[in-house]
Chain A
Amino acid sequence: MKDTEEYHVILFDSVHHALRSEKILKEIGIRHKLIPVPRHISSDCGICLRFTLDLRNRIEEALAGKVEIREIRPL
C-alpha cells in the first residue's frame, strides 16, 4: 500500500456513476479502488473512486463524456 497523501478520490452524485466508472477503468486496466467516502469528506453513505495521483490524467481521459463527476480531490 502506498502513502495516503498520494491518493485522490473522485466523488459522484450517484452510485451508478461510480459503478460505471469502475467498469470503464477495469476494462482498460487502470488501477483504482472503490471505497466508502471518508468521513472527513462527507457523512453521506456514499462510495468514491480512489486512485494514485499519477493516474489522474489517464482516468479523467477515460471517463470524459461517459460519466458525470462531482469533484476530484485529495483524500
Chain B
Amino acid sequence: MAKIIDAKGLACPQPVLLTKKALEQENTVTVIVDNEPAVANITRLGKTMGCTLQTEKKEDGTFQIYLFREAGESAAAPLNVSCATGPLVVVISSDRMGRGDDELGYVLIRSFIHTMLSLEPLPQTLIFYNTGVKLTVKDSEVIDDLRELEKAGGTILICGTCANYFGISNNLGVGAISNMYDIASTMAGAGRLVVP
C-alpha cells in the first residue's frame, strides 16, 4: 500500500523532511507538492536513498512524485536540502583564506578557488573586493581557474575602487570592473552567499 503525503502549501524544508520520514517506514511513497524547488529537493533525496522516481505535473500546477525504494537499499541518507531561491554568490574579500598565517591563507584561498570548479551548481557570480582583487590580475596564480569559471557562465565582478587603490585596473586578467551598487545588490539578491 503506497503512502501518500500531501505536502502542498508547506514551506521548505517540510516536504522533503516528511518524504524522508515516510521512506524510512515504507518502500513506496507518493508525494504531492506545489513548487519546483520541492520537486528538486525530493528528487535529490530519492536518488540518494536509492529510489526509482517518477514525477507528474498536474493541471492544477501541483506535482505528484512517485518514489519506490528498492528492497535492500539503505534508508539512511544525508539530507541535502536547498531552500534558497536566489543564485549562489561567492565573495572573495581577501587574497587569503582565514586569518592567522598569511602563507597558509594564500595556499587555502588558491585551493578554494580551484575547488569551486567542481561545485554543483557553479556559483553564478563571484565578487572580488579589498585584497581579493589581487587574485584577478593577469599573472595571478588562479587566473586559469577564474577564466574557466567565467567560461562556464559565472560572472566575475571586481571592485573598481579596490583595483584602483592597488593600481591594477589596467592589469586585470578576468572579469569586469564593477561598482558598489552592483556589488551590494548582487549580494542582497543572493540565495546563498559564500564568503571563504
Contact = CB atoms under 8 A, between A and B. Distances in A.
Interface of A: 1, 15, 18-19, 33-36, 47
B111 A34 contact: yes
Nearest to B147: A1
Given A19-B107, A34-B107, A35-B111, 5 more contacts: A1-B144, A15-B104, A15-B107, A36-B111, A36-B115
B103 A19 contact: yes
7 contacts: A1-B144, A19-B107, A33-B141, A34-B110, A35-B111, A36-B111, A47-B107
B173 to A, nearest CB: 15
A19 B114 CA distance: 17
Interface of B: 103-104, 107, 110-111, 114-115, 141, 144, 148
Contacts of A18: 107
B111 A47 contact: yes
A36 B109 CA distance: 11
Contacts of A1: 144, 148
Nearest to B148: A1
Nearest to B115: A36
Contacts of B110: 34
Contacts of A34: 107, 110-111
A65 B56 CA distance: 65
Contacts of B141: 33
A18 B111 CA distance: 13
A32 B105 CA distance: 19
A60 to B, nearest CB: 22
Contacts of A33: 114, 141
Contacts of B144: 1
A1 B148 CA distance: 9
Contacts of B115: 36
A45 B148 CA distance: 24
B97 to A, nearest CB: 12
Nearest to A23: B103
A63 to B, nearest CB: 18
Contacts of A47: 107, 111
A47 B148 CA distance: 21
Nearest to A36: B111
Contacts of A15: 104, 107
A36 B103 contact: no
B112 to A, nearest CB: 8
Contacts of B148: 1
B47 to A, nearest CB: 19
A15 B106 CA distance: 13
